[in-house]
Amino acid sequence: MRTLRAAALLAAALLLVVAAAQAATGATIQTATDATYGLHLTDADGNSLYLYTQDTPQASTCVDACAANWPAFTTDGDPVAGDGVDASLLGTLTRGDGSVQVTYAGAPLYRYARDAKPGAINGQRLGGVFFLVSPQGKAIQDAVAQAAPTLSDAELAALMNEGQQTFAANCAVCHGDQGQGKVGPAFDKNANLGNTNYVIDTILGGIPPHGMPAWGGVLTDEQIASVATFIRNSWSNAYGPVTQDLVTAHR
């Protein structure tokens, strides 16, 4: 009887140890590759992580309204380094609300509230202060070199012509007929247009809190490809064409 009781107590103790270890397991940081910006940090589910250039090492200045759009990436234990992540760069800080935020190379990490699915990078370069994070802990500011879709001059001209018509009918009222910006942001000299995925996802899903409607249920994939091509290659922009099959892949 004593032996059975001792075994039961030992088993219970082991369960407590396992439970405590599980509770102490922190958030996992891993890497993913984006076609435009290359290798960058994500959480365990593939959601992109960002740094804020207004922060100082081991201190977050993103609070209140900022934190509503950019939730801190928090952990319940020591953060865990996944594949491609330098464990020596991982750290934490305690926020004013008592939550523990993960840092990388001293930079507090954030998610973006409008990244609706794993792999989305809609927060990249926003305001010129939020950036994806490289495995070395640096802000990723420049796109990797990409091979532009191969289109004939006639195909590109047709896309641009259709895109101009779609832009004039649906977009110019907010963004200006010369891309100069009005109610909506300017497109001329807008570096965000270099991010093909961001452009497509924004046109498809919109940004409702900022008054940008979703066009995915209004425009065809061909129209979206054409207007994306038009705004990316008009005025002083030269970011290359967007093809219909790429838009379809983002649906």
Tens-digit pLDDT profile for residues 107-157:
999 999 999 899 999 999 898 899 999 999 999 988 776 666 788 999 999
Same domain, 32 and 136: yes
Whether the predicted pLDDT of 24 surpasses 80: no
Residue 170 and residue 101 share a domain: no
Look at residue 14 and tell me whether its pLDDT is greater than 60: no
Q: Give the β-pairing of 107-108 and 78-81.
A: unpaired
The domain boundary, picked from 140, 164, 198, lies at 140
* Residue 82: inside a domain: yes
pLDDT for 147 equals: 63
Could you tell me if 111 and 176 lie in one domain? no
Q: Are residues 166 and 87 in the same domain?
A: no
| Mean predicted confidence (pLDDT) in 167-194 | 93
H or E, element range at 100: strand 100-104
pLDDT score of 57 more than 60: yes
Do 51 and 95 reside in the same domain of the chain? yes
User: What is the distance between the alpha carbons of residues 182 and 164, in angstroms, rounded to a whole number?
Assistant: 18
**Does residue 5 register a pLDDT over 80?**
no
* pLDDT score of 13: 44
Count of the separate structural domains present in the chain: 2
Tell me, what amino acid is at 130? Answer: F
Query: What one-character-per-residue DSSP string does 3-52 give?
Result: HHHHHHHHHHHHHHHHHHHHHHEEEEEEEEEETTTEEEEEETTS-B-EEE
Q: Is residue 145 part of a domain?
A: no
Question: 3-class DSSP state for residue 92?
Answer: strand
Res 11 pLDDT > 60:
no
**10 within domain boundaries:** no
127 in the same domain as 32: yes
Alpha-carbon distance of 186 to 47, in angstroms, equals 28
Q: How confident is the model at residue 237 (pLDDT cuts 50, 70, 90)?
A: very high
Q: What is the mean pLDDT of the chain?
A: 88
Question: Both 133 and 196 in a single domain?
Answer: no
pLDDT of residue 3: 55
Compute the 3-state secondary structure of the chain and give helix, strand, coil in percent, each to the nearest 5: 35, 20, 45
Q: Say if residue 225 is in the same domain as residue 125.
A: no
Give CA–CA dist 62/56, Å, rounded.
11
Domain final position from 100, 117, 140: 140
Question: Structural domain of residue 178, as residue ranges?
Answer: 153-250
Domain end, chosen from 140, 166, 195, is at 140
Contact 159, 229 (CB under 8 A): yes
Q: Would you say 38 and 90 are in contact if contact means Cβ atoms under 8 Å apart? A: no
Helix 221-232 to helix 196-205 angle (10° resolution) is 130
pLDDT digits (tens, 9 = 90+) for 67-115: 999 999 999 999 999 999 999 999 999 999 999 999 999 999 999 999 9
- Domain CATH for 229: 1.10.760.10
